[in-house]
Amino acid sequence: MPFRTLSPEDVMAGGTRIMRAGLEGGKIVVAYGKPTLEKSANLAVQAANWSAENPILAACAVVGTTGATILAAPSLATAPVLSSLGFTMNGIQAGSAAATAHSWIGNIVAGSAMAIGQSAGAGGNGLVIVNGAAQLGGAVMTLGSAGIAWIKAQL
């Protein structure tokens, strides 16, 4: 397919069409955006009021949702934790907590927590163990908060 040479008029016409489309989009935002924003703000106020009136149930909702998220996608929790401890794709990061622990331990024994952390940080088999532990924690959070909410509802 040969390339077409554009004239300045073609470029101007295309720019004009884009600008008109942007103006039309702006009209849509003005027409529908304000009511949507107001409804969102009202919903946020209602949620805040309910949370203030029901702090235990609100905490259970937050903990349960967090647990369900970790259960479904454990790497959302484990990747930042591993990285912040110093377990990276390139090995243990100098000056990190993992480096300090490694200097205390010395040689790393296969199967130890340090070895699993190194493997998980590098994306190896240790990640299965770390993610599995996170998922177990997520399940406990979800079920525990549901149990507390149920007990609260019975009182």
Q: Which helix (H) or strand (E) holds 92?
A: strand 91-92
Domain boundary among 53, 74, 89: 53
What is the pTM for the complete model shown? 0.67
- What pLDDT does 3 receive? 64
Q: Are 86 and 98 in contact (CB under 8 A)?
A: yes
Mark whether 35 and 74 lie in a shared domain: no
- Residue 108's pLDDT band, with cuts at 50, 70 and 90, is confident
- What pLDDT does 145 receive? 95
Q: Are 85 and 96 in contact (CB under 8 A)?
A: yes
Give the number of domains in the chain: 2
Alpha helix segments (H runs only) across the chain: 8-28, 34-53, 55-72, 75-85, 97-105, 113-121, 126-154
Domain that holds residue 36: 8-53
- Residue 37's pLDDT band, with cuts at 50, 70 and 90, is confident
Give percent of the chain above pLDDT 90. 58
pLDDT, tens only, 69-98: 999 999 999 999 999 999 999 989 999 999
| 85: amino acid identity, one letter | L
User: Which DSSP category does 31 fall into?
Assistant: I
Stretch among 16-25, 45-54, 117-126 having the lowest mean pLDDT = 16-25
Mark whether 48 and 60 lie in a shared domain: no
Q: Which residue has the higher pLDDT, 75 or 5?
A: 75
